[in-house]
Each structure stands twice: as structure tokens, then as C-alpha cells.
Structure 1
Amino acid sequence: MGPALCLLSAACFGAMAIFGKLAYAAGVSPGALLLVRFGLAAGLLAMLLLLRPGLRRDPAGPDRQTGPAHVTLGVLVTALGLGAVGYAAQASLYFAALELMDASLLSLVFYTYPLLVTLTAVLLGRDSLTPGRCAALVAASCGTLLVLLGTGGVDFHLLGVALAFGAAVTYTVYILVADTVVHRLPPVMLSALVMAGAALTLAARALVMDGVDLSFGLQGWMWLACIAVVSTVLAMLTFFAGLRRTGPSTAAILSTFEPVVTTALAAFTLGEILTPVQVAGGLLVLSSAAALQVRRARPGQHGPVSRQVSADHSLPPRVNA
């Protein structure tokens, strides 16, 4: 289930670029897009927690049926900080770069983050760089490169590249920090806190910058709703649920499926054509995802055991469903 959840998350995130283009065409500004995206997502998740109290239970607690998640002040601050600092900064850098450079080159630079996550996790001693994972990382990176370079020539903008790489570094830190709290909070609660933190930061920025223009029409609100529901709420819930089961390196490598989805959706909805090079790149990414799902069971085990150990070392290793 872990790899499948990560792939679903990547597909939802991949659709955001299409929704974003359609929202821009409907008169939505980047500032309004970010503020409404995170604000609406935070509200939806809060409502979900109110209507479904079971989602507040700690799935790793001693009482899985009735035990509510125990939220310490440190975990609460970390979760809010993930949104207020990490997610808000990453999204702001990403969309700032998008205004200066082509989307294909932006994606190419931004998707250096799987390599950054994997290498940093290994250097921190939080993950192991096995031969299989190395091969999957190389295949996924090469596949992403082929998908993006298959779009043709791109315009190089030094500041845009710097902003895009800054977004990749920020997202790397975000994933590694999220991995320390993802086992201590239910996915819906963690997602709600992250979205609330990001919404507060963007709201404060809007006040300082004299607000944002929300006078666009119904069509713009429809695409913003798609971004909030599909490419934010569903995408984040499935990402955190997948991260719990796979760990940061595997989750990051599987996230390289996102630009493949973006390119394919652009071909179907925006009339862009998939070239043979892009098809080959997509197949490479899919093959790396399939390779990461192959687990070697230890003698005497009847199912694959996750190598990811909870950040709370008092918890036992999780068995993948």
C-alpha cells in the first residue's frame, strides 16, 4: 500500500499544474491561488476531523479503537511549522519561478529533490542506500529528465533556476522533518495542521502586501476548488500515509511520477503531444516505481516488513498491508 499511496499522491500533485493553468486563464493571480488553496484545504480538513472523530485516533497507540492521538506541544509546533515555513516557502518559491521560466525547465530543476532527500537521509543515518534503491533512483531521475527534455527547447533564466532549486531544497527539508512527526499524528490531523500553518503565513503576507484580488468569477473558484480538494487535501493525505509506510527516500523517488502525470494530462487536456522520448521516460519512471515495490521477505515471514522504523523508537516496526 505504501508505494501505491505515494503514486496516487504524485498523480494528484501532478494535476495541480493543469488546474493552475486553467485557474490563471480564469483570472486568478498566484497570490490568490496560494491563499485560497491552503485556506480552503485547512477548512476542509478541520471539518473532516469534526465530522469524523475516528480520524483523530492514534493508529500507533495502545488503543487503536478509542485512543485519541496524544499531541505534545513539540509535535504541534513542528506540524504547524511544516506548513508555516516549509510548505508556504516551497510553494511561494515554486510559483515565483514559474513566472520567470518555462514549466518544463522548472520541473527539471525542482525534481532534483528526490536525489537530495535520498542522499541527505543516508548522510543523517536515517536511511540506507541499497543497490536496488540506487538503481530505482537513477531510473526515475533519467525517466524524469527524458519526459521533461522531450518537450523541446526551453528558456534559461538564472534567477528562475535559483528559485526552483530553492524550492527543491526547501521541499527536501520539509520531507525529512515531516518524517519525524508523521508517525506521531494521524495523517488527517497532521495534514490539517500543515495546511493551517501555510494558510496563516500566506494570510499574514496578504495583509502586509495589501491583500489579494478575489474578484475572479465562478470558473476561477471551480479550478481553485479542484486544486484544494484533489491536489492538496487528497494529495497530502495519501503522501503522509505513504510516507509512514515507505520512509523518505522511497516516497521521494516515487514522487518523480508527478511530472509524468503532468505531461500526460497536458497532452490530453491542453493539446500537447507526447513524443517517443517522453513515453520512454514515463516507462522508466514507472519501472522504478515497480522495482521499489519488490520486497525481500525474511525467512519465516509471510509478508513484507517495512524497513522504516518510527521516529518514536518505542514503537515496533510496521508491517505493510
Structure 2
Amino acid sequence: MPQLFIILAALSWGFISVFVKKLSNYGFTEMEIVTIRVVYAFILLIPIIILQRKNSVIRIRLTHLPYFIGTGLCSIVFFNWCYFTAMNKLSVSFAVMLLYTSPAFVAIFSYLFLKERLTKKKLLAVLITIIGCALIAINGGVGASWDQLGFVIGLGAGLGYALYSIFGKLATRYYDSITITFYTFFVASLCLVPFYRFWEKFNQIPNELHLYMIGLALVPTVLAYILYTIGLNRIESSTAAILATIEPVAAIIIGITLFNEKITFVQFVGILCILSSVLILSIKRKSIKSHKSELSIFNEKTR
């Protein structure tokens, strides 16, 4: 079930706040945290590539390099910087809400560039998702300072997040998920390492912080993107992007259990909206497939 891979990826992404908060408390900047994330992820991917024992895993055409520039630089680097910066300029809730404008971007881009159908079901799911994210953000935004630049950057996070679905979908026509993930983080690392030398702070941090760096690269990065790309290979990119909006639900649950955050009734309604959009895409899709299967069996019997 490809929808399950997308949902598991979204749950993994939901853990990112645990690692980012810890690293931020020790004085790492947003771009340094982005660099830590992509560099450690790339290092973790190397043994996975070696274990594949296939030359085809690391062999790509130079003409396909723009796909990985798209997933690595235009998506991973750009989206992470926008997301972390929006968190600082606005409230975290506003940043999450703006990040999850990505399904709307994906649905439109998929229609324009990938020739995917913009069905009524997708439009309904996008609308319910946006409403849900807005409801979750309402109380978080009360009293928060408004920053026009932060708002624009926050929308940039949604755009960058959406671009992974678009470029990733194009790349899945030629490569499997591990190849796409490997070159995504290779390109991102290559672009960031010369400018953000995070290792120079190593002598100022405790040893336990290295575990958080590895965790940031493993759970909400390598594992999440492999799961997401596997799912993306089997369903439409616009559907995958909407299913991935279960991430804010996971983030809120983590906030309650680990950081003692409170949820208002309005935010709870927002969570229900997001879950409803997931059900619209998965349960109804399953029922349609089941109906087609029954119709196929009927046709076989009448031949």
C-alpha cells in the first residue's frame, strides 16, 4: 500500500522539532542545522549504497542532473532554510501552516507540468487540508508578531516542499528511491559545506549532541525521504503531498508528550480536518479499486 509509505514518512518528519530545538539551544544557526542535516544524511547513505552492490545505483546520466539539483538545492536546502527562518520570524504554528500550502502548489504544478488530473477529490482534499492547517495555527498565532518578510519566506517553505514531489516524480521515471535520495543529499551537501562549517563548533558542544545530529539525519531525513520516494513512485505526486500533511498532526502530538504543549478545541478540529483529507484520498481510493476488482470478476464470469 503506497499510501502507508507516505504516512510513515510524514510521521518521521514530525520528529524534526526534537532535534532542531536541541541544536538551536546550543547556538547553531538555521543554515548550520540544514547543513548538519544534509551532510550527516549523505554520510549515512554511503554504506546503504555500498550494500546495494549494484553499479546501477550510483550511475546517473549527466542530462538528468537537473532533477537532483531540483530535489537537493531547490527543494531540500531552500525549503529547510525557509522553514527554520519562518519559525524565528513568525510563530511555529504560522510556519507550519505556511509550509502546508505545499499540497496546493503540488496540485497546480502536477497539472501544469506532469499532466496529472486535477480531480474534484484532490481539490476537496486540498481545501480541507488548508482549512485544517489554518485552524491549527489560529491559536498559535494569537499574540505573535506579524512579519511580512517572514510570511513570504514561509510561503517559500511551502513552495520548496512541493518541489521535491515534482522533481522527485520526474526522477522516478529513471531511478529508484535510494539513488534519488543519495544524489539529493550529495548535491545539497556539495552546495552547503564550503559556506557553513558547522564542525568548527564541535569543541564547544557535549558528546551527546552528536547523537542528536545523527538522529536528525536518520529519522526525519534518510528514513523519511526513502519512504516518501518509494510511495511517490507508486502514486501521483499531488496525492503523495496531501497524504504527507499528517506531519503537523505528529508534530502536535510530540509537542504535547515531550514539550507539555496544550491543544485548544479549535486546533483539535484542525487535526480532524487533516485526518479527514487523508481518509478522502485513501479509503475512497481503495473502495474504487475494490469496485473495479469486483467488476473485473463479474466480467470474467460473464465471458
Q: Given the alignment of the two structures, is residue 98 of structure 1 paired with residue 84 of structure 2, yes or no? A: no
Pair 1:125–1:32, CA change in 2 (3 A): closer
Q: What is the CA distance between 1:260 and its match in structure 2?
A: 1.5
Q: What is the CA distance between 1:124 and its match in structure 2?
A: 3.3
Alignment partner, residue 15 of structure 1: 15
Pair 1:246–1:291, CA change in 2 (3 A): same
Distance 2:61 2:78 in 1: 25
Q: What is the CA distance between 1:151 and its match in structure 2?
A: 2.9
SS in 2 for 1:82: helix
Distance 1:22 1:196 in 2: 25
Q: What is the CA distance between 1:110 and its match in structure 2?
A: 1.9
Pair 1:119–1:13, CA change in 2 (3 A): same
Considering only aligned residues, what root-mean-square deviation do their CA atoms show, in Å?
2.5
Q: Given the alignment of the two structures, is residue 269 of structure 1 paired with residue 261 of structure 2, yes or no? A: no
Q: What is the CA distance between 1:29 and its match in structure 2?
A: 3.4
Q: Given the alignment of the two structures, is residue 123 of structure 1 paired with residue 112 of structure 2, yes or no? A: yes
Q: 2:201 aligns with which of 188, 193, 213?
A: 213
Normalized per residue, the structure richer in helix is: 2
SS in 2 for 1:236: helix
Alignment partner, residue 51 of structure 1: 51
The runs of 4+ residues in structure 1 deviating greater than 4 Å are none
Alignment partner, residue 157 of structure 1: 147
Q: 1:75 aligns with which of 61, 64, 70?
A: 64
Alignment partner, residue 124 of structure 2: 135
Distance 2:61 2:135 in 1: 45
Distance 2:186 2:28 in 1: 21
Identify the range of structure 1 (42-51 vs 94-103) with the bigger mean alpha-carbon deviation. 94-103
Identify the range of structure 1 (230-239 vs 17-26) with the bigger mean alpha-carbon deviation. 17-26
Q: What is the CA distance between 1:128 and its match in structure 2?
A: 1.1
| Aligned 8 A contact 1:26 1:219 in 2 | no
TM-score by length of 2: 0.87
Could you tell me which amino acid in structure 2 is paired with residue 196 of structure 1?
A: F
TM-score by length of 1: 0.82
Alignment partner, residue 30 of structure 2: 30
Q: Given the alignment of the two structures, is residue 204 of structure 1 paired with residue 191 of structure 2, yes or no? A: no
SS in 2 for 1:217: coil
Identify the range of structure 1 (10-19 vs 294-303) with the bigger mean alpha-carbon deviation. 294-303
| Aligned 8 A contact 1:3 1:289 in 2 | no
Pair 1:220–1:211, CA change in 2 (3 A): closer
Identify the range of structure 1 (20-29 vs 220-229) with the bigger mean alpha-carbon deviation. 20-29
Q: What is the CA distance between 1:27 and its match in structure 2?
A: 4.0
Q: What is the CA distance between 1:69 and its match in structure 2?
A: 7.9
Deviations 1:74-118 (A, max 9, x none): 224522452134321221222222222211111112211111111
Query: Which structure 2 residue ranges, 5 or more long, are not aligned?
Result: 297-303
Distance 1:202 1:183 in 2: 28
Alignment partner, residue 297 of structure 1: 289
Distance 1:69 1:203 in 2: 21
Pair 1:152–1:171, CA change in 2 (3 A): closer
Number of aligned residues: 291
Q: What is the CA distance between 1:70 and its match in structure 2?
A: 6.1
